[in-house]
Amino acid sequence: MTPVLRHPPPLKQPIYQRARAPNADELENIPWLHTLDAAERKVAVADLKVVRIATGELLCRVGRPVTYWFGVIEGFLKMNNDSDLGVPIIFTGLPPGGWFGEGTVIKREVYRYNITAVRKSVVAGLSVETFHWLLDRSIPFNRFITQQLNERLGQFIAAREIDRMSDADARVARSLAALFHPVLYPGVGGLLRITQQELGYLIGLSRQRVNEALNALQEHGLIGIEYGGVRVLDLEGLRRHVQRG
DNA sequence: ACATTAAATTCGA
DNA sequence: TCGAATTTAATGT
C-alpha cells in the first residue's frame, strides 16, 4: 500500500523576513541578558530578533553561513547533523533557555547542524557582529559562553554513554536528566514540556517503550507524568538511575 | 493497534 | 466573548 503523504508544507516566508523585536516577556527568558550592564544590554536588546517557528520547520541547515547565535525562548528544538550520511550522529533536544551555535559563531564558520522545531517555538537570534562585540567587552558574557561550551562538552560525553546503554529505562532517565541540565537550560524549571512521542524520537525508542519507562521512573518517585510533559522530581536520582530494580 | 482522556478549536448565540 | 460541541493530540495498555 502506498503511504499517503501529507500535503507539502506551504511555502514559508523566509525566517529572517518574519523576525520582529522581542517583547518584555521574551527578554525575561534570555538568561545571559541579565548578566550584562545597562549599556551592553541596550545594545543587545536592540539587536535581538525573535521569530515564531512552526512544527517541523528548519531554523538553520548544515553548510549555511552563520548569521545568528540562536536561543530557544519557547517551545522545543532538536539539533542533529544527519544531512549527508543516513545516520544521525548526535541528536540533542533544546528546551527553552538553551542557546546554541556559539562554537560556529566564534569561528565564523558554517552551521554544522540542522536545527528544526519539534513543535511550534519562539526563537531569538543575536547577530554575529553583536555576539563578537559582547565577547570583546563583557566578562559576564564570556563567562556564560565558557560555561555553555563546557556544559556542551559534558553533554556530548553523556550522549555517548547513553547510546551505549542497553536498558531502556536507564536511557530515558539519563536523557531526561540531560535535558534538564540546570546550567545549560535554566529555563526549564521543573516541568519539561515534551510528549512521549517526542521523547521516543529523541532517545531512539518507540513511544510505547518510552511510556513504560516513564511509568517505571514514576514508580521510583523520580518524575511525575503529566499530559504533554514530564515533571522532574529528583534530578540527581535520574542521573544516577542506571538499571531497573 | 485500539480505547480513553486531555486539550485545542470551532461555532452559535 | 462565552461555553458547548467537535476535532485533534497524547496517553495507557
In a domain, A75, yes or no: yes
Look at chain A and report how many structural domains it folds into.
2
CA of A186 to C1' of C9 (A): 28
Measured CA to CA, the distance from residue A171 to residue A181 in angstroms comes to 15
Measured CA to CA, the distance from residue A79 to residue A112 in angstroms comes to 10
Give the HSE-up count for residue A213: Cα atoms under 13 Å, Cβ half-sphere. Answer: 28
Q: Are residues A127 and A172 in the same domain?
A: no
pLDDT of residue A210: 97
CA of A227 to C1' of B12 (A): 30
Q: Are residues A115 and A205 in the same domain?
A: no
| CATH code, A195 | 1.10.10.10
The answer to whether the beta carbon of residue A1 comes closer than 7 angstroms to any atom of strand B is: no
Q: Give the number of other CB atoms < 10 A from CB of residue A207.
A: 14
User: Last residue of some domain: A99, A124, A155?
Assistant: A155
The answer to whether the beta carbon of residue A195 comes closer than 7 angstroms to any atom of strand C is: yes
pLDDT of residue A82: 57
Q: Are residues A39 and A150 in the same domain?
A: yes
pLDDT of residue A76: 82
Measured CA to CA, the distance from residue A145 to residue A36 in angstroms comes to 13
Residue A84 belongs to what domain range?
15-155
User: Last residue of some domain: A137, A155, A173?
Assistant: A155
How would you classify the pairing of strands A68-80 and A91-94? antiparallel
Q: Are residues A130 and A213 in the same domain?
A: no
pLDDT of residue A32: 95
The answer to whether the beta carbon of residue A243 comes closer than 7 angstroms to any atom of strand B is: no
pLDDT of residue A209: 97
In a domain, A8, yes or no: no
The answer to whether the beta carbon of residue A196 comes closer than 7 angstroms to any atom of strand C is: yes
Q: Are residues A39 and A128 in the same domain?
A: yes
The answer to whether the beta carbon of residue A81 comes closer than 7 angstroms to any atom of strand C is: no
Q: Are residues A104 and A122 in the same domain?
A: yes
pLDDT of residue A10: 43
The answer to whether the beta carbon of residue A231 comes closer than 7 angstroms to any atom of strand B is: no
pLDDT of residue A127: 95
Q: Are residues A179 and A151 in the same domain?
A: no
The answer to whether the beta carbon of residue A9 comes closer than 7 angstroms to any atom of strand B is: no
Q: Are residues A149 and A172 in the same domain?
A: no
pLDDT of residue A79: 80
CA of A105 to C1' of C1 (A): 48
In a domain, A2, yes or no: no
In a domain, A79, yes or no: yes
Tens digit of pLDDT per residue, chain A (245 long)? 333 333 334 445 677 777 889 988 889 889 999 999 999 999 999 999 999 887 777 887 777 888 899 999 888 888 876 555 445 555 678 888 889 989 899 999 888 888 888 777 889 999 999 999 999 999 999 999 998 888 888 888 888 888 888 899 999 999 998 888 777 777 766 788 889 998 998 888 999 999 999 999 999 999 999 999 999 999 899 988 876 54
Q: Specify the nucleotide whose C1' lies closest to residue A199 (CA).
A: C10
In a domain, A180, yes or no: yes
pLDDT of residue A88: 53
Q: Specify the nucleotide whose C1' lies closest to residue A194 (CA).
A: C10
Pull the grid cell for residue A11: 511555502
The answer to whether the beta carbon of residue A82 comes closer than 7 angstroms to any atom of strand C is: no
